[in-house]
Structures are given as C-alpha cells and as structure tokens.
Structure 1
Amino acid sequence: MDSLLRILALLGCLGPLDLFSASLPVLVNGAWLSENRHEVVVLDVRSRAEFMAGHWPQSRWAGFNELDWQVERYGLPGYLPGENGLAALLGSLGLAGQESVIVVGSARGPRQIAEASRVVWSLMMAGFQQVALLDGGIESLSSDDLQQGISSIEAKRCTINWQPDLLADSNRVEDLLDNNRPVIDFRPSLYFDGYKRDPQVAEGGTIYDGVGIPPVRLLDKNTGRFLPVERLQQEFQRYDIQTTGSLAAFSDTGVWAALGWFVLHQILQNPNARLYDGSLVEWIDWGGEMHDSTDDMGGPIG
C-alpha cells in the first residue's frame, strides 16, 4: 500500500499530506506534533483572538464558536451541519477529506476540551479516518514554539463519507433505554441534577433513566489532560456506568457529550459508542421523558 501511495504521489495524484499512512494515536503531545508537523493538518478551534495571540506554526484557524460547527436544524439549535454544509465548512479550511488532522483547543476548562472533542467527532462523521486531539491543549506547548497572526487558507473541495454509526437520534436513544443500555449525561452535576439549566434547553434535569458522570472526573485537574485508561475505567465504575457495548453520550446540545464520546469511543475504544447530536434540546422537543431531581427531597448531590 505504501508503494502504491508513493507512485500516485509521483504521478501528482496525491499531495504530501496523503502519504502519512501510519495510524495516528488518538491523543498527541507537543513532542509528537514537532516530529510530525509536516505530515498533518493542524486545526486550532479556539477563538480568532486567541489564535492570533499565539498558535502552533502552520495551524489553521477553525474557531468552534465562530464557524458553523453547529447549526440550527428542525428549528432547534446545536446540530452538526448536513453533508453539504459540513463539506463546505471543511473545504473552507483547506481539507479535501483524506488528510490526517490534529485538533488543538484550550485545556483551561472541561468545556473547551469538549469543544475540541466535538470537532474530532465532526471530522470523523465526515469520514476522516485519522484524527487526533492535542492532549492538554495549547497550554501544553511552550510559548516559544507559538507564532502570532493569521494566515490565509486555500479552500478545497471536500469529499464527505458520512459515518452514521457515530450518531444517535431520539429513536435510538429510546431503544437503548428500553434495552437497559447506558444513555450517559456528560454535563456538570448541577445540570444533571436540575439545579442549573442551559438557556437553550426548555426543561431542567436529565433524560429519565439516563445516567451521569461529570466531565471533570475524566480529566487531570492540573493539566486538563485525559486520565490514563485504568483511571478512566475506575471513574465510570464509581458511577456504575458500563463503558462497553451499545451506548449513547448526550448533553444540552451535544458539546459536553463529545468529551464523553471521545473518552468512550477513542480512548476506551468502544466502537458502539454514539453521540446524541440533538441531545436534550431534541429529546424535550421530541416528547421524551425527563427527570428533575429538584422535584425530589433534598439538595444537590456532590
């Protein structure tokens, strides 16, 4: 296969980025990035201002909250764009569909890690087969290695190879619940318990019979890096949550959920882990049953 790729490259059928055939780890660090910088595309999903203040050389700005990584569909917010919309977005970032991609975000908090994880999921939904996340975010890199400003990107036509096996909808979530399979809420505890509510979500609480684990439990509190596999398994066991077999991750609009999906599908290697894109916004609109622990006796559970 490597010989064929190199022949195609010599004939002008492939660019240099298509020659990187080694499997990517799901998480990379600064040393790996330095060694492989010419073989991968780096997408920085922080804000434009943060990117301009300092970013990895040759990275492309792909701001999660400023570009159309989530769009309104069915009159509801927060969805992955459809195939055409996603192809247009990725093409505007200079992606054709076969590149090896490293996603860089911030690790200053779980929410920022979730946003970067959501971009990983979006790329994999589009059919990108080699996608990794910079563990510990931009903060893990030396400031001496960063550069300021922003550069232009040459747009390409991106070919989408849709991967529906990574996606859950309301019918699938209901089926999982009916079969006593985990439907996991990855929001902070106060949201799961109903004491806080995202303004985009019509009701407080969580999916009835859903289970929850706070995203902060999956991360090193000092560095923002993901915990080692053994400790991740221990955290899920602590919350009595299965990590194998068919399951779905959800949140308000599928952003917090992406952090959990990344742990389950990428780090713990469960190929049957799906992300419920519409999450609570869709579930409530669909008429799904909710549970709000504030209706029970007592206060927030730690």
Structure 2
Amino acid sequence: MAYPKVPIAAALLAASAITVSPALAERVTPGPVVNADWLAEHRGEVAVLDVRRNLDAFAEAHIAGAAPVSWDAVRTTRVIDGVERQKVRLDAETFQQLMRDAGVDTDEPVVITSPGKAAGQITTQARLYWTFAYYGHDDVAILDGGNAAWRAAGHDMATGEVEITAGDYTSGNPDESVLATVAEVDAARTDAGVQLTDNRPMPYYLGLEQAGYVYAAGHIPSAVNVPFTLNVSAKGPATLRDTETLRAVYAHQGASMDNGAIAYCNSGHVSALTWFVMSKVLGNENAQLFDGSMHVWTQDASRPVTNPARP
C-alpha cells in the first residue's frame, strides 16, 4: 500500500475547505485538512485510513483503496504512571502494529476519513490524527466531512472487502508537547496564560450528567465550556466550520487562542476534535490534549471538581 511521494506546491493549501496553519514544506498533504476534490486528484499519493465503529459497514461503501481501522483499536486500557487508565493512547509498539496492519509505511502521507455524517464521527478522525502527531508523524490530514463529503462531491464509493498488504510503519519518539499532563492541567486552573476547555455537552459540564468511568460530576475549575459539536456543521456532511466563525465562537465561549489551551472531555476522545481545531485550524501552537481527561482527573478524589448542579 506504499504510494509514491510527490511534493505538492504550497498553493494547494487552497484546496482545503478552510484556512489552516502553514504546512510543512516537504509534506505531500497540503495541510492538516483536505477536501474531497483534493483527495480524488491525489488519491495515489497517500494512504487513506477509514476509522469507524462499525467495520461491517465498511464493505458496504468506502473510498476505493481505503483501509478500515476499528475505532475500538485506537484507544486502550493501560497502566500509566502506576495507575490503570481507560480509553487512553496506545503505546508506541501497539500503535505501530495497528498502522502496519492498516498498510501504512514509514513516512507515508496519510489522509484520515470516517463516515462523516455527524460530529461524533469526525472526532474519531481527529483522535487518530492526534495519535499520529504524538508519535511524530507529521504528513497527515483529515478529510473534511469524511465519506459523506466525498459522496456529496460526486465521487464514487467502492464496495466489498479489501486486501491489505502490511506496511512497515515505525512510531517515532513521543511528542510530549501535544499532551497535557495532570500536573499541567492542575497548574492551568490558576494560570491565566493557559485556558482549560471542557468539550463535552453542557449537561456534563454542569454536572447534570456523568459518564460511568468518570468518578465525579462537573468540570475542572476555571474550564470554559466549548462543546465539540460547535466545531462542525449540523446539516449535511459534518464539515468544519470556517475559521472566522470558529474563532468568534471560541472567543464568545471564553476560549481565547492568544495563550495556551488544554482540551479535555470525559476521556480525550471528543476533545481531540477541539484540540485539532485549536492547534491546526486556529493556529494555536500551544494547544494540548488531556488524554484520559475527566476519567484520569477524578481518579484522585483530592482533585477539585466544580459542580454547578450541586453547589
């Protein structure tokens, strides 16, 4: 599944549906976001990964040549810092094997897609993108709107099972700059230079609802609520909103992009989309993702949680 790498001129940034931060000079993908027409034109230059919950539906309709990736395989339960944590990042060896099984080669450019019909499906693309970033693979983009946008642009879908030749992908050294530690989250509570953003639906932020693997309802003190669904359109393919709108919405919710920002949710899943938008769309180079999020934060009962529903 190795494809020849042909440098793409910087002008191809215009092929993306929204404005993005500058791309690396040698990358094949024109930036962190590509649209369906760009992918159709450059399909032979990239590996396409289709991440989804229901792999059975992959055979019914997918982009030709795409490799399916099970969402359940993208995160795991593992011991980190001596504590068992759920729904967190894969270790380097496991991620490396997952990508090899998907046919990805070392340094191969990657475009990540999903069914693309709802914000929740776009978050799986963003979370896989973040994992690539964490393990140092930069030439990666998400397909804006996923397969739904591909269809809407008039491109054909393939059917049937696919045969994948194993790749030789190698995980790089972790880039800790994209990962917020518990200590960094704790410090952000009182640091005006780092904004915590809670990306869950408002009922979770307010403590009206609580995920089963989170041990206290509410939010981390000083966090503002930026629900992940605000990042994408609500009708048609779930495409990212334009940059100007996103910047205005984030500012209105109290999440200025002038300083550092840490995105979190219940586990680090849906907040990956907010991290992606803050980092790759709005250009906040100091944006981080709190992997494990409220699950990890509330494992220690001494850590403060604000619960407006139970003042």
Give the TM-score band, short-chain normalised: 0.7 to 0.9
1:84 corresponding residue in structure 2: 93
Q: Which one-letter code corresponds to 1:217 in the other structure?
A: L
CA distance in 2, matches of 1:16, 1:140: 23
3-state SS of paired residue (1:141): helix
Query: What whole-Å deviation, never above 9, does each CA across 1:78-125 have from its counterpart, x for those lacking one?
Result: 110111222122222222330111110133222211111101111111
Query: What whole-Å deviation, never above 9, does each CA across 1:152-208 have from its counterpart, x for those lacking one?
Result: 222233222221111111011112223122011111111111111111111111112
Aligned length: 281
Say if 2:26 is the partner of 1:26. Answer: no
Q: How far 1:70 moved relative to its partner?
A: 3.2
1:247 corresponding residue in structure 2: 261
3-state SS of paired residue (2:94): helix
Instruction: Structure 1: give runs of 5+ residues left out of the alignment.
Output: 1-14, 297-302
Question: Residues 97 and 127 of structure 1 are in contact (CA less than 8 Å); yes or no, is this contact kept in structure 2?
Answer: no
Question: Residues 112 and 140 of structure 2 are in contact (CA less than 8 Å); yes or no, is this contact kept in structure 1?
Answer: yes
Say if 2:17 is the partner of 1:17. Answer: no
Say if 2:104 is the partner of 1:95. Answer: yes
CA distance in 1, matches of 2:271, 2:155: 33
2:146 corresponding residue in structure 1: 137
CA distance in 1, matches of 2:228, 2:264: 12
Q: How far 1:72 moved relative to its partner?
A: 3.2
1:151 corresponding residue in structure 2: 162
CA distance in 1, matches of 2:40, 2:29: 17
Matches within 5 A, 1:84-233: 84-142=93-151, 145-161=156-172, 162-180=174-192, 181-223=194-236, 224-233=238-247
3-state SS of paired residue (1:61): strand
Question: Residues 219 and 225 of structure 1 are in contact (CA less than 8 Å); yes or no, is this contact kept in structure 2?
Answer: yes
Q: Which one-letter code corresponds to 1:61 in the other structure?
A: P
CA distance in 1, matches of 2:165, 2:140: 20
Query: What whole-Å deviation, never above 9, does each CA across 1:237-292 have from its counterpart, x for those lacking one?
Result: 11121123222100001001101001001111111101000211111113421111
Matches within 5 A, 1:245-284: 245-284=259-298
2:308 corresponding residue in structure 1: 293
Q: Which one-letter code corresponds to 2:171 in the other structure?
A: I
Query: Which of these residues, 40, 46, 71, is aligned with residue 77 of structure 2?
Result: 71
Question: Residues 3 and 46 of structure 2 are in contact (CA less than 8 Å); yes or no, is this contact kept in structure 1?
Answer: no
Instruction: Structure 2: give runs of 5+ residues left out of the alignment.
Output: 8-26
CA distance in 2, matches of 1:260, 1:196: 21
CA distance in 2, matches of 1:17, 1:271: 30
Q: How far 1:63 moved relative to its partner?
A: 1.8
Question: What do you get for the CA RMSD once the two structures are aligned?
Answer: 1.7
Q: How far 1:23 moved relative to its partner?
A: 4.6
Q: Which one-letter code corresponds to 1:52 in the other structure?
A: A
2:10 corresponding residue in structure 1: none
In percent, how many aligned pairs have the same letter? 23
Residues 23 and 34 from structure 1, CA distance in 2 versus in 1: closer, same or farther, beyond 3 angstroms?
Answer: closer
